[in-house]
Structure 1
Amino acid sequence: KESRRSISDSMSEPLLPDCCTPTAHGRAAPAQGALLGGFKTIGDPAFESYIVFPPSGTPVLGVMFLAHDIFGLRSGRHVQICDELAQAGYIAACPDLFGDGVSRATELNPTWPPKSLSNILNILCCCKLGRMFAAMKIPWGVLESKLAATALYLQAEHHRRSPSASQLEGCVVGFCWGAMVVARLLGASMESLPIPIQCGVAFHPSLRIDEANRELIANVARPMLLAPAGDDPKHLQPGGEFAAALEAKFAKPTCVPFPNMVHGWMPRGPLSEESIKRDYDLGMSLLCSFFEERLSDAQN
C-alpha cells in the first residue's frame, strides 16, 4: 500500500482511542504560573489552540506540534511544555483536538490514583468502554483540519514577525492517545500540512496491538521515536513488535524506554518527585535532540 497517501483519503472512519494503563498517573490539574503564550481561537469552525513563539531575538529552530493526552488541552502540563519548547527556540502549538478542553477537565475523568479493585474497574470503564470511549469517536478529518489550521496560523504569524524567514519544518509530539496523531501524520505525505512534518515522538503511547494499529505503524514514512513508560505494553518496548517494526524501517534505534516511570509521567507526573522530574527533563531533552537530528538529516 502507498504509505505517503493523504490522511483524509486513507483514514476516514471514526477514531476509537486507546487510553491509559490502570497504573498510570491520573488527570492533573492545570499547572500554575504565568504563561509565555496564549490560547488563540482559530479555524472555521473555530477551535482553541495554545500557541507560543520563542522570545524576541531567539532564532527559530522549527515548529513543535503537541497532540495532547486523553484528558485534553487544559489539563496537566501541556501548555507548560509548549512554553519550555519556546524557550528552547521552537514555535510550539497544542490545538484542542477534542473541542472541549475546559469541560473535559471536570467531566471525563476517572478517580485517581487506583487504590482499590473498584477504582481500577472504574478507570478501565471510563478509559476503554465508557464515557471517554464514546466521546472520542472523532473522525480524523476533524483532527486533521485543526492541525492544518494551526499550521496556517503559525506560518502566517511567523512570516509577519520575520518576513524573510525560510520555510518552517515541524515535529509532532504525542502523549498517550496523542501517539495515534503522531503515527498518522508521519504516514501522510509531506504536503498534508502547510508545515512539513519531518519526524515525531510518542511518549507513553496508547497504541493497542491490533490490526488497525499494525497498519498505522506500517504506514509510518518518516522517523518516529517511541518513549514508553515501564508499565506500557511489551509491543511498545525495545524489541517489541511496534518498536522493532519502526527500527527495521529506519535502520536506527527508534525506542527509548523510561522503565522507572509509569504511563502519563510527561504531562501528569508530579515534578515534586525527584525521579519524575529527572525523567521529565530527560524526555524534553530527547524530544529536542531527536528533532534537531532529523532536521540535520533533511538538510544533508
Structure 2
Amino acid sequence: MSSLPSLQADYEPVGKEIKVKDLDAYLVGQGTRALVLAHDIFGWGRTTTRARAFCDQLANEGFLVIMPDFYRGTAWPPRKPVDDDMVPWLQTVPVETLLDDAHSKILPYLREEHSVKSIGWAGVCWGGWLGQKVAATDGAVSCGVSYHPSLQMEEMVYGGNMMNMLSAVTCPQLLMPTGNDPKMAQEGGEVIATLNASSVESVRDGCQIHAFPDMVHGFMCKIIEDITKEEVIRDATLAFRLSIDFFKKHMEE
C-alpha cells in the first residue's frame, strides 16, 4: 500500500469546506505558494472521487490548496458511462461563469486572504481544460499541471478552437496523458507542438509532456478498484513527484 493519501482506499481528508463568495470550496494546507485543484467531471465530493485526498497530498508538500466546487453541487455519477448527456450537462455552467469563478473569486481570495506569492493550477481531466483557459490571462497563474487532460472539451463542449486556446496560454504547462488519451495530446502530438511554438518565451521554453502509456484516463483521482495495484502506485507516484518538481520550479516562494 502506498503512503500517498490519494492511493489509500480508506483515507479521511483533513481539510475543511469554506465559502468563497457564492462558491463552495475545499481548503487545506498553508504556505506562500497556492495551488488550485480543478476537479474532473466527478466533482469535488469525498465519495465520488479521490480529489480531496489528492489536495491533502499536495498540501503535504508545503502548498496551500483549494478545490472549488465548479459544478455547484452537481457531478457526473461515478458509475455512469460517459454518453451524449454529458455535453449538455457540462454546458449548464457556462465558460464565462467558470472564468469568473477563477478570476473574480478564487484567485483574489488566495491573494487577498492568504497573501500568497504565487499560484499554480492542478487540473484533472476536465480541470486541465479549464486550466488552459485560465492561463490565457497573463499573470493569473504561474504555471499549470494537467493530469490526463481533456483539452478536446474546448471544441466538443464549448464550441471553441483547441489550438487557438493553447496558443493563448501565458505560462509553463506540464501535460501527463495516459495510454487511451487522444493522439494529439501524446508526446510529439499537436498539443505540445502548439505550446512549444508559443510566442511567449516562458511557455515555449517551459512546457513539458510526460506520457503514462500503461495508465488509463482518470487514474489520478477517479475512484477505481485497482488503486492498490503495483503499476498504478508506480505511475501515480511518479506523476505526483513530477508535478511537485514542476510547481516548485515555476512558483515563487
User: TM-score, with normalisation over the residues of structure 1?
Assistant: 0.70
Counterpart AA for 1:248: A
Q: Indicate the percent of aligned positions where both proteins have the same amino acid.
A: 29
Q: How far off its partner does 1:171 sit?
A: 0.6
- Which of 213, 230, 235 is 1:259 aligned to? 213
- Structure 1: which 5+ residue stretches go unaligned? 1-29, 55-59, 112-122, 160-166, 191-195
Counterpart AA for 2:70: L
1:189 counterpart SS class: coil
- Which of 55, 61, 65 is 1:92 aligned to? 65
Distance 2:219 2:175 in 1: 14
Distance 2:194 2:112 in 1: 37
Change (3 A) 1:145 1:31: farther
- Which of 217, 228, 240 is 2:177 aligned to? 228
Distance 1:76 1:124 in 2: 16
Structure label with greater radius of gyration: 1
Tell me which moved more, 80-89 or 206-215: 206-215
Higher helix share: 1
User: TM-score, with normalisation over the residues of structure 2?
Assistant: 0.83
Change (3 A) 1:290 1:124: same
1:52 aligns with 2:23: no
Tell me which moved more, 246-255 or 273-282: 246-255
Alignment length, in residue pairs?
231
Tell me which moved more, 142-151 or 276-285: 142-151
1:34 aligns with 2:7: no
- Equivalent pair of 1:186/1:223 in contact (CA under 8 Å): no
The residue aligned with 1:140 is: 95
Runs of 4+ in 1 over 4 A off after TM superposition: none
Distance 1:239 1:69 in 2: 25
Counterpart AA for 1:204: H
Deviations 1:37-94 (A, max 9, x none): 1111221xx221000123xxxxx25111011001111121111111111111000011
Change (3 A) 1:243 1:204: same
What's the C-alpha RMSD, in Å, of the aligned pairs? Answer: 2.4
Distance 2:182 2:12 in 1: 36
Change (3 A) 1:186 1:244: same
Q: How far off its partner does 1:235 sit?
A: 0.4
Q: How far off its partner does 1:144 sit?
A: 2.3
Counterpart AA for 1:199: C
